[in-house]
Amino acid sequence: MGFTERARRVRDGRLAHGRRVAALCSCVGLYHPIGHRATLSFLGELAGRYQHHESALLRALEALEASRAVWREEVASYANARVKQKRLGRRVPSPGDPPPSRMGGHWYASDPDVSRRAALHALKLWERDLPPDSVDQEVRSVVRCCIATGGRLTDEQLDLVSRRRLPGEAEGVRWPITLVVSAGGAVRA
């Protein structure tokens, strides 16, 4: 069963509310731009207590579908651009141009402020749940500054982010750096 069918179940007022919430969670299982848990939590921030209120549940689904629609447009645009590049002989995409189909670390939205808020929300969850010595302290410091300033970083911090944003970095570094870039207003991390 795909995203659209699960979304239909969320809207189906004949189903028990718990089953509709479970259908929303299944939708998030298929589309979770800032991680599964962070996406569900952010939907609660955007829509309200969807676990208990039908109107909030429908707002949460609407927000998720809107993000997914923007993401799908970016995926299609990227695919079209790659076809044109290949026709021009550029067979390999540039390293700094990851396909949006990877979808990690950026809430796709027509309003950049929503994307920034989503990244900050995910960073707060990441930072809160991290054991004290489990990550590079330099990265943790940048994450804390990013959260404290709402995504605005100094030139020195931005240099650190660009240095640590390499494909070879460990996932424990790559994920928060990706979120920091998104919180700072980058289109894609």
Mean local confidence (pLDDT), 89-107: 73
Q: List, for residues 114-144, the tens digit of each pLDDT value.
A: 999 999 999 999 988 887 777 778 888 889 9
pTM score, whole prediction: 0.86
Q: List, for residues 17-71, the tens digit of each pLDDT value.
A: 999 999 999 999 999 999 999 999 999 999 999 999 999 999 999 999 999 999 9
Question: Is the Cβ–Cβ distance between 44 and 50 less than 8 Å?
Answer: yes
Domain boundaries, given as residue ranges, for the chain: 1-102, 104-189
Question: Is the Cβ–Cβ distance between 64 and 98 less than 8 Å?
Answer: no
Distance of alpha carbon 60 from alpha carbon 80, whole angstroms: 30
